[in-house]
Amino acid sequence: MTKTTAGLSAAAAVLACGALAPAAPAAASAVPAGVSALPSCPLVFGHGGYPEGANGWAKDQMRQPNNVRGVDDQKAWGADGVEADVQLTKEGTKAVMWHNTTTHGLTGPQQKITDIWWTYGRGNLAGRRITRGPYKGERVYSLRQWLDHVRSRGLVALLEIKPETKSVLTDRRYAAKAWKEISDPIKERRGSQRIMVYSTDAWIQGELAKRHPGLLKGAAARWTDSVAWTEPVPSWKGNVSRWQAVLKQGARSVMTNYPKEYRAWLRGKCR
């Protein structure tokens, strides 16, 4: 479901603290028997699976919703928000949406994302295309481009600042420019788009807490799957036990590799 747009800090606080409670019914008699005992339905964040274990990169089908078609699929599958990955190109000159450390899975020679330019030179990132998986032929988008499309689809944006960006963000020659590439697109949308941020890298997470204190993911978008992702895609049914447990615990928002199946499973189990 799509909520009304709120300020960035307010949006993150609402999601993290669980303030998105359903409106009270007009009259108790209007509530069907048993419905009041159901937990509140959580917001659902879609996540694109990446194969676990050794050589996951060799199996990866680039399912991460870092591109327009991926975002559109998440919307069609019933997601309220979408999680995606922020990388930096050479010298921090462009914040881009890509999961992997390298250009593996893209046309052109394999290189680290932090070693190539966005639009300059032969083999630049903007000119490459995904080579396999459901989004074959799609391109890499800048952070601004991706955020604009997510906003147009009425989704909450959840940005993971990838650990690979740390080498640029800690380089005194490029740090100021690189942080502007990440932070400016977020600040520009203050008041018009719901955005949350996080990183699995402790140093980056600490910097995000200083730069965007009201937007930290915190306890929002709790991971709800138990099935280890691989290719071909495993059945969603192995998640049911954990889905039930997380819902029972009252999570206000969850993240899953199976938004379509989770939405269908959730029907009738919450209000």
Q: pLDDT for 191-249, tens place per residue?
A: 999 999 999 999 999 999 999 999 999 999 999 999 999 999 999 999 999 999 999 99
CA–CA dist 187, 160 (Å, integer): 16
Can you give the residue ranges of every domain in the chain?
8-16+53-220
Residues 6+ apart with CB under 8 A from 226: 238, 239, 241, 242
The reply to whether CATH 3.20.20.190 applies to domain 8-16+53-220 is: yes
* Integer Cα distance of 133 and 154 in angstroms: 25
Give the list of residues 6+ apart from residue 31 with CB closer than 8 angstroms, or none: 25
- Give me the phi and psi of 256, to 5 degrees please: -150, 150
pLDDT range class, residue 80, cuts 50, 70, 90: very high
CA angle at residue 212 from 211 to 218, to 5 degrees?
Answer: 130
pTM score, whole prediction: 0.88
Q: What is the pLDDT of residues 46-57, one digit of tens each?
A: 999 999 988 899
Q: pLDDT band for position 3 (50/70/90)?
A: very low
Q: What would the two tokens of residue 104 be?
A: 């593996």
- Encoding tokens for residue 58? 């060799």
How does pLDDT run across 99-132, given as a tens digit for each residue? Answer: 999 999 999 999 999 999 999 999 999 999 999 9
